[in-house]
Amino acid sequence: MAVLTLLSRTATRRGARALGIATASVALAVGTAGNAFACEISDFTAAAVCEEGEGVITVTDVDPGGARATVTVYLVGKDADEKVGEQVVTGSEKGTTITFATDWKPRAEYRIHVRAEPSLDEDIEPNLVTPDTPCAPEESPTPTPTPTPTPTPTPPPTPTPTPTPTPTPTDVPSGTPSPSGSGSGTPVPSPSVPAPVPTPSESTAPALPVPVPSGLPSPAGGSHLAETGASSGTGLIAGAAAALVVVGGGAVFLGLRRRGAGGR
């Protein structure tokens, strides 16, 4: 009986050990499987790229276990971070990429945060800094051409009429060369104007012959009176003739008055 009891106890102990070993093996297998399905922050990468001239941020999850994770992108600011967007990604062995459309500026800084079950809640380190060159160069505004002012035509100055000097008539003495002559130096004599001879009326008697003073040639001779030209005696003769005409006219007038007085 004692031998049977000892054998029974030994078998019980061996069975308990075997059960403990099996339980530990199962727990180890479950733990290993859990670690295989869990993702790490090192599985995620971010980049700032350009697509069709627009800036975007891409996040790639390389996770062979295919765990689901939530990715949130923030624009780092001076006072607070600005949320750009949030998406859920399921990792793969080749990598799964999600895209956040944001027209990033050069040298901008973004923070990417990842949450995944059971215990992942971290940021991708370091923060993402965008390149120095933008995706599309900023178009400088075309300067508006300044209109050229049209010059106003200036009317030509009105010429001031110059007054024409009126020539002052100058008595030209007889025998003096005319200023407008041809410059030959020959004097042009002025024509002598004879004194007017009074015309006797119809009732007067015929004029008596005018006595000719001694020393003067008779008009009947007519040699000097008929002369014209620039002889030295022409002016003297003309003056004497005019004086004789005046004297003769006065004598006729006196004679007629005396006749009239005698007839009364």
Give the pLDDT confidence of 27-77 residue by residue, as tens digits. 444 444 444 456 899 999 999 999 998 999 999 999 998 999 999 999 999
**Euclidean distance between CA atoms 222 and 236, whole angstroms:** 15
**CATH number for the domain including 87?**
2.60.40.3980
Which residue segment(s) compose the domain that 97 sits in?
41-129
In a domain, 241, yes or no: yes
- DSSP letter, residue 261: H
Domain boundary among 79, 107, 129: 129
pLDDT of 157 higher than 50? yes
When pLDDT is averaged across residues 84-97 and rounded to a whole number, the result is 95
In a domain, 73, yes or no: yes
Q: Which residue has the higher pLDDT, 256 or 228?
A: 256
What's the mean per-residue pLDDT of the chain? 72
Q: Where are the beta strands (DSSP E) in 53-169?
A: 54-61, 68-75, 82-90, 96-101, 109-116, 120-123, 128-129
Per-residue confidence (pLDDT) for residue 49, from 0 to 100: 95
In a domain, 157, yes or no: no
Domain boundary among 65, 98, 129: 129
Q: CB neighbours (10 Å) of residue 111? A: 19
Give the pLDDT confidence of 120-152 residue by residue, as tens digits. 999 999 999 999 999 976 566 666 777 777 777
Statement: the pTM of the whole predicted model exceeds 0.75: no
Give the pLDDT confidence of 201-228 residue by residue, as tens digits. 444 444 445 454 444 444 444 444 444 5
Q: How many domains does the chain have?
A: 2
